[in-house]
Structure 1
């Protein structure tokens, strides 16, 4: 296979080490000539990059070049693929996204509800700039975006770049859930074939089979109900918040047993319960700052100081491996099937054609080819259309700089629904996001 040049945009992310280990584990799947990190935060990126340099010298000697930079031309020139994982405003703004809604008894979460709206409004401008910059220097590169909130970002990118067929929005949550299914069955996750429909962070598994056609859907449902449900991916398996999330997925299945739910649906189906469990002084952002970020930075310091991986335990993760495998399928025309976001265009036949749906899709060198889902039942159709209306109005509000459209969006969102709460939360988020959002007109 011809070796490729990859840039990781957001090189300072705490997820980058997992991607590095995944690139190493999958070096035969996606062989690289050159790897580059790009980030606007020089100091944050440098710590991750210097540790990565040590890792790559030990584990990926075949790599011709590794560099990290804040220079766009240096980062994006002559690349074959870009992984985009930015967080505009960083964890400090994520904490505000979570704290402000909680003051009004509304879910504080980075992708769902008002927090997701705030994060999406911040992300859109930077995402537009990044895609334009990459296209300036590498017009044919594959751009794989997994920046949250992916649903809002994907809707905005669809409008801004309608003819860009090498721009794919992708999320690792379905495969992370499938990893738990696979471990439950004693199977390799890559041997499972899912049926799935929905929006990003808002979908359902209809069927789980293996490649031989054996259907394990009912077995999985029975095991979850009777034995419980736990996360098993290395990145989240020991995280108490994720353990609670997977436990709630069991409740969702028991309440609505038609399909296996995406874990994020908990925020929309039980918003009052979820809001009551959250603490403004110990938000998920604060837990990440004191937990994963601290752990990753301490690991980097140890690697840099010793100039060795000796005594350090690092492994690939499902998030990184998924990105690498999906990229390889696009680049090398492998025609493998993954759950990604695509324009509906009749895939789910009884919802609008312009919705960005998340469905099983064959990834080819000619782009994604989604498999038809057909009609979906009324309950799920209603939920999806309501959620999409919210997402569409957020993006309308961004483009039109409209306070009214954002207010409509929050009022529709199942985590809010109350107009007075929507107004109060929106007004505080506007103040908190000065300099990040376009100025909204009333």
Structure 2
């Protein structure tokens, strides 16, 4: 496949590429593999974590389960007094959904259902009456991992209004009783794990571990009177991962020398498990990024505590996660003076209580990167009576001490099975990510 940077894309081609990326990434494990595959097509070398990290010029990528980290090293030699600085785009590969429980298959009144556990904070009602796929990974008894992505085969049906006349006055969904999808019918009970195993050429008996989620089967698409909107599942946060992939892909072809200025090492760090708190071996609260940064510096001969502190002190992390556009039917839920709109630019996310890590210095830097990319930006801050969520930004900043700025494209229907944004905004994020990677 041809791999191009955001500057080489029109809005249409960028959204087509984003659609392909999202479609190829139904689970965090698929997203990490698709990221690595695309970067390998751009000339990056995939590393095994058990091997030494190289110091030679080139692009490198590491996959750990559902997380992926990639970076591009300049050519030439570091001067004796030179220390590099990292420009890290932080994002996450997971999205709110439903995950298969152990022993998931049940049968009630001739309907075969899959037992699921709620993952993160999905808008549960948005998953009703949709054609759903299963996706994720199966682990066979020989220790091999098999990625699986089925065709549409499940549905969480609503109760007909004739059986609940008050449903339009308030829908209540019990997480244990009302959210298990139907996947087949018949008096002879079916087993969902048998069906999933068959998709990858295994038997159910050969599957000894599984991480399987539900996804909406509908493909991403533009809509609106002038096609000014874009709708998709998992925009939060694959739009940010894709921005990092497309921006980073252009750097391996350039490979500038370190030169006389402070060298910049662009990096994408896409974590798993953000939607459930980031506290895992592949989450932002875990050791993944810290370990990889340390190993890169060690390969470059930067080993003292003082040197490493100076490197991290000169580095930046752009925490890219989605934010909220003003909702026209609920405008009172937003801050009175800050109403982000579709196609009006990337959001700069600000919170006095450090739910986002942006400060004044970071805001000024983001303004500079947007100016270099020639894209607009707009501030997002919450209504004081509506607490905001958080991101990997404060977690990574606390763990690493790297100055961090929280940004992202704006959405309506965040955490829905199908979210929406302005059609121009994903490419704007890709362009500002390229400018961020490019230097000061």
With normalisation by structure 2, the TM-score equals 0.26
Q: Choose 1 or 2 for highest CA Rg.
A: 2
Structure number having the greater strand percentage: 2
Structure number having the greater helix percentage: 1
